[in-house]
Amino acid sequence: RMPSCLLKLTRVVLSHKPWALIILIFLFVSFAYIKLYWGIWEDPRSRGPPYGLSAEISCAHYVPSPLNIAGGPSPSAGNVFFVETSEQTTPSYLFSCSVESAARTHPESRVLVLMKGMAKGNTSLPKHWAFSLLGCFPNVEIRPLDLTELFSGTPLRRWYLWPLRHWEPHFLAVLSDACRIVLMWKFGGIYLDTDFIVLKNLQNLTNALGIQGDDVLNGAFLSFKPKHEFMELCMQDFVQNYNGWVWGHQGPELLTRVFKKWCSLRTIKSMNCKGVSALAPEAVYPIPWQDWKKLFEAVSALELHKLLKNTYAVHIWNKLSQGTKLEIPSQALLAQLYSQFCPATYAKMKQD
């Protein structure tokens, strides 16, 4: 239905007939565009297929050797954050693999999965195999994402509370961009998108982000100390140079803008500047987004070893790769990554 505010506006506009038709057409077209691209008319692929009928997982079967964490995660080890800003509560295989691989490579850290779709105060998780499987890892915690609380005390609070914000075409992506820089500023630790497969412990990469190529930094991986000045500048830029209608303006473009100012650079290169590291692409983006199809191509064990020699994590570029059929088992690069770094999720994939 058309919002009541538009109905009221229609009555007002009709009393000024010369411009009434033009204004009404503009309003209706704008409203339809926003509904289409914001995702109210949801792409069926984004709902995720019904992976497996059983929500119960036998930890002894899928995770025969659980992580050995004496006394729980170390307080000195930073948290690893994943964020789901949509209402989605049916994680995909890739989502499960991302969290599992982070849990396995960071046994002394808490791996926090923050999900907007979980009702605040509800102590029970939705019945889904991924939540059951991830519950086998003692350092994984799945919590509701309270956005009002997260943005409180930051420059982004007023931005988030503006009533028309949710009508913007890329709002969910921008909201994710906002969450990660606020999490890093408030709490520090490591942030990862839910389409990463983690190969090595990332804790020694401090105050760092990765170059995705083409003179652009990407925020799919971030690692910062709390209250770091660089993240504070990112929050300020987010508000001062805000444009929610251009894809990436609040994400990779923002981080690139701030880093260039931080270092007084014209071109991004792998370097450490004033305590912040721009990591070479092979560190966390070894497969460029333009070459995402290589993830589904067969590679030998030797090729895999060479490819991942200097790599900490592999970004899967889910926005591009989702929907592409992956043979399980196979020698495809992505299948081998699943097999080695998230074996419990891989076992579930083979079963399904």
- For 253: left if phi > 0, alpha if psi spans -120 to 50, otherwise beta; the answer is alpha
45-52 mean pLDDT: 37
pLDDT(322) > 60: yes
CB contact burial 61-98 (16+ within 10 A = b; e otherwise) = ebbeebbeeeeebeeebbbbbbbbbeebbbbbbbbbbb
Computed from CA positions of residues 259, 260, 265, 266, in that sequence, does the dihedral angle turn out positive or negative? Answer: positive
pLDDT(273) > 50: yes
Q: What is the pLDDT of residue 50?
A: 37
Mean pLDDT, rounded, of the chain: 86
143-155 mean pLDDT: 95
* Dihedral over alpha carbons 33, 34, 37, 39 (to 10 degrees): -130
Task: Specify the higher pLDDT residue, 40 or 234.
Answer: 234
Distance of CA 118 to the CA centre of its chain: 17
| Axis-axis angle for helices 333-341, 93-105 (nearest 10) | 50
Q: What's the chain's Rg over C-alpha atoms?
A: 22
Between strands 276-279 and 208-213, the pairing is parallel
Kindly list the domain boundaries of the chain, sorted by start residue. Answer: 74-282
Residue range 168-178, pLDDT digits in tens: 889 999 999 99
Does this model's pTM top 0.85? no
Name the pLDDT band for 72 (thresholds 50, 70, 90).
low
Provide, rounded to the nearest whole percent, the portion of the chain with pLDDT above 90.
Answer: 71
Q: What is the pLDDT of residue 66?
A: 64
Q: What angle do CA 138, 151, 217 make, to 5 degrees?
A: 80
Q: What is the pLDDT of residue 48?
A: 39
Q: What is the pLDDT of residue 159?
A: 94
90-117 mean pLDDT: 97
- The CATH code of domain 74-282 reads 3.90.550.20
Q: Return the SS3 of 98.
A: helix
- DSSP state, residue 215: T
Q: What is the pLDDT of residue 163?
A: 81
